[in-house]
Structure 1
Amino acid sequence: MSEVRIAAEPRTEFGKGAARRVRRAGKVPAVLYGHGTDPRHITLPGHDLMLALKTPNVLLRVEGVGGTDNLALPKAVQRDVIKGFLEHVDLLVVEKGEKVAVEIPVTLTGEVASGGSLYQEAVSVEVLTEATHIPEGVEFNVEGLEPGTQVTLSELKLPAGTELHTDPDATLLIVSHERSGAAAEGEEAAGEGAGEGSEPAEAAAE
């Protein structure tokens, strides 16, 4: 995966007032931590950071902190619940070759067999992978799967160097029998009939 370079500045003022001043200047408060170092409080350019975060699990090369560059992954992103702007970001320092746990999306391709309805239980999966080679996602082909089929996460074919970091027996998807329109209407009518029949019985009891 590609790296996104982003320039950081040290942050020396703290508190809500200081954070508001940082954001008014078009920047975002952030903290850089990991690998046994003390957390380093920084600010990042808001526009550049917003663009970078559009890529899931983006790898940032944070420049200008302690005179060295740091590779980092966003681990917690706080946004304003109404306006959506970035309020704060936690960045985890990583190194090449290091394994990290991340969530990647699962995309289904193909069509199930006729008469089947597809239900995707897991839209993402947690994996353990190299920090500098995080896959963008994983695909699973459902072509021709018959009604009654259940697929678990263990059946995903992950890229080399990537492994599941969650329960392999958890359900990925289910293919159930598609209900016909007539069957659905019949069930609805039966339910209505049961409701109508209950009123006289209640009246008789009274």
Structure 2
Amino acid sequence: MAVDAKLIAERRTEFGKGAARRIRRTDRIPAVLYGHGQDPIHLTLEGHATMMALKTSNALLEIENPDATKNELAIAREVQVNPVTRHIEHVDLIIVKRGEKIEVDIPIHVDGEAAPGTIVSVDNQTLLVSAEATHIPEYFEVSVEGREVGDHLYAADVTLPKGVELIADPEMLIVNISAELSEEQLEAELESEAVDEEVAAATGAESDEDAEAGTEDAEGDSDEEKSED
């Protein structure tokens, strides 16, 4: 597996939320690099280049590390993304070496068309495997072509490349093929959900009334106690 991107790192010298905001305003991203017994190194990475590199799942990155005599190979172990702006706010990088195996979650892509009148449900979007650090698959492809109602695909059914070992439970459900609901069934399900919502709302209202009544009783008791005093 070739390196997906080379990122130029700079040593991070200031910390805290305010410092992180200032770093991001300069189109850089706070990051930490660790692994192989090395003390964590706090860095900043190029904002746009990092964002583009991490579009590839489990991208192999070459980090130009200012505290090392050579560049480090790394993958992103955790990426924090702002839920509103979708900008990357922080990246945890783990150092990897050629030849070593690491555990990674690999995305699953579902391909093909199941039989008419079926619904394809993907129960798990990723599969945990052990793979050579510099030969991590980008994704696993699972075909549902012609699959009938009642068919299931499990982790053990996913074809793995040579050298990749399954870590997830072999019986973990990946894809479930079920029957498409008829209009009558869909209407009945919607009606049932509406009834459940009405019951929940009524139950909530009763609980609120009970709580208010309890408060009034407590206040009444308190007034009586004061009058007795």
Q: Same fold (TM over 0.5)?
A: yes
Q: Which has the higher strand share?
A: 1
Aligned to 1:175: 177
Q: Which has the higher helix share?
A: 2
CA-to-aligned-CA distance 1:27-84 (integer Å, 9 cap, x gap) = 1111100001100111111111111111111111001332321001111111222222
Aligned to 1:48: 49
Aligned to 1:112: 114
CA-to-aligned-CA distance 1:2-21 (integer Å, 9 cap, x gap) = 31111111112222232222
Aligned to 2:95: 93
- Paired residues in the alignment total 189
CA-to-aligned-CA distance 1:180-199 (integer Å, 9 cap, x gap) = 335656x57x97xxxxxxxx
Give me the whole-angstrom Cα distance separating, in 2, the residues matched to 1:167 and 1:74: 24
Give me the whole-angstrom Cα distance separating, in 2, the residues matched to 1:5 and 1:62: 6
SS state at 2:161 partner: coil
Rg comparison, structure with higher value: 2
CA-to-aligned-CA distance 1:157-176 (integer Å, 9 cap, x gap) = 01111122211101111222
Stretches of structure 2 lacking an aligned partner (at least 5 in a row)? 193-229
The one-letter code of the counterpart of 1:20 is R
CA-to-aligned-CA distance 1:133-169 (integer Å, 9 cap, x gap) = 1111111121222212122111010111112221110
1:187-198 equivalences in 2 (<5 Å)? none
Q: Match for 1:163 among 159, 162, 165?
A: 165
TM-score, L = length of structure 2: 0.75
Give me the whole-angstrom Cα distance separating, in 1, the residues matched to 2:118 and 2:147: 8
**Considering only aligned residues, what root-mean-square deviation do their CA atoms show, in Å?**
2.0
Aligned to 1:62: 63
TM-score, L = length of structure 1: 0.83
Give me the whole-angstrom Cα distance separating, in 2, the residues matched to 1:61 and 1:70: 6
Give me the whole-angstrom Cα distance separating, in 2, the residues matched to 1:83 and 1:110: 34
Aligned to 1:26: 27
